């Protein structure tokens, strides 16, 4: 049981972590995240919620510098072009890409989902039927997610929750991070296909990320809208 002092301490730690986290452009190359701490970050990813619990993502960790360089030319958000350094690609302790399932797996009734319900969720056949119906209606009627692009984008929304949890967990441990969307989608897809064996029929890139320890304090103070401007109560 948490007492009042514990709760106050946890609240302070959470807000401190959110103030500490900033989109880190350059990491200290000499400081590596320990295996145990990165395991915790990955476990936060794995335990993240996803719509219908479908877990439509995979995390690709890209640790060799040679492999990271394959992305540099078209990943302006990760290459330090803005500040003349080797950026997140060249300095992060850990760098990765979250790829998400395409329509091939995400369409209601797909072979992939039947297997997932049976073997991961361990659902009985009658419950699987209910799931197929409910998810089918959600896709076709409630959210009108019908094209391949819409399904991949919807899977991408789940990936962003995963990455948010990874970044917050890291910040709570004093570890820096950067979410990265600054890349050419087609060329990233091609590179993943050609050099990493990621079949684009099954997976498309959603977002990149970098983790490590900041090389310097943030250049600019954090700015945000006021709480009044951010939230409306009814």
* Candidate list 60, 182, 200, 202; residue touching ligand FMN; CB under 6 A: 182
Segment interacting with ligand FMN, rule: CB under 6 A, options 7-15, 39-47, 172-180, 195-203: 172-180
Task: Count other C-beta atoms under 10 Å from residue 46's C-beta.
Answer: 11
Q: Is 77 in the site for ligand FMN (CB under 6 A)?
A: yes
- Rounded to whole angstroms, the Cα distance separating 150 from 197 reads 24
Task: Give whichever of 22 and 54 is closer to ligand FMN, judged by the CB atom.
Answer: 22
Spatial neighbors of 69 by CB under 8 A, at least 6 apart, are: 89
By the rule CB under 6 A, 73 interacts with ligand FMN: no
In this structure, the number of other CB atoms found within 10 A of the CB of residue 11 comes to: 10
Site track for ligand FMN across 202-221, x = CB under 6 A: -----x--------------
Compute how many residues bind ligand FMN; rule: CB under 6 A.
Answer: 11
Site string (9-28) toward ligand FMN, x via CB under 6 A: -------------xx-x---
C-alpha–C-alpha distance, residues 185 and 12, integer Å: 39
In whole angstroms, the minimum distance from the beta carbon of 164 to ligand FMN comes to 8
Q: What is the DSSP-derived secondary structure letter of residue 173? A: T
Q: Enter the tokens of residue 114.
A: 């039947």
Site for ligand FMN contains 222 (CB under 6 A):
yes
Q: How much is the CA Rg of the chain, to the nearest whole Å?
A: 20
Which stretches of the chain bind ligand FMN, using CB under 6 A? 22-23, 25, 77, 178-182, 207, 222
């Amino acid at each position: 049981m948490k007492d009042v002092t514990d709760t106050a301490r946890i609240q302070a730690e959470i807000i401190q972590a959110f103030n500490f986290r900033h989109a880190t452009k350059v990491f200290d190359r000499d400081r590596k995240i320990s295996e145990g701490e990165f395991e915790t970050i990955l476990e936060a990813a794995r335990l993240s919620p996803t719509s219908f619990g479908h877990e439509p993502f995979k995390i690709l960790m890209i640790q060799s510098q040679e492999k990271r360089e394959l992305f540099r030319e078209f990943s302006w958000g990760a290459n330090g072009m803005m500040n003349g350094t080797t950026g997140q690609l060249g300095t992060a302790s850990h760098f990765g890409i979250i790829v998400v399932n395409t329509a091939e797996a995400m369409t209601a009734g797909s072979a992939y989902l039947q297997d997932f319900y049976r073997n991961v969720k361990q659902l009985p056949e009658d419950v699987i039927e209910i799931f197929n119906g409910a998810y089918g209606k959600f896709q076709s009627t409630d959210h009108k997610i019908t094209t391949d692009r819409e399904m991949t984008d919807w899977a991408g929304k789940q990936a962003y929750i995963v990455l948010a949890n990874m970044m917050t967990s890291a910040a709570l441990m004093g570890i820096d991070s950067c979410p990265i969307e600054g890349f050419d989608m087609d060329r990233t897809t091609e590179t993943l296909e050609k050099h990493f064996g990621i079949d684009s029929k099954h997976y498309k890139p959603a977002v990149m990320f970098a983790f490590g320890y900041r090389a310097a304090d943030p250049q600019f103070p954090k700015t945000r809208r006021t709480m009044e401007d951010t939230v409306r109560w009814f």
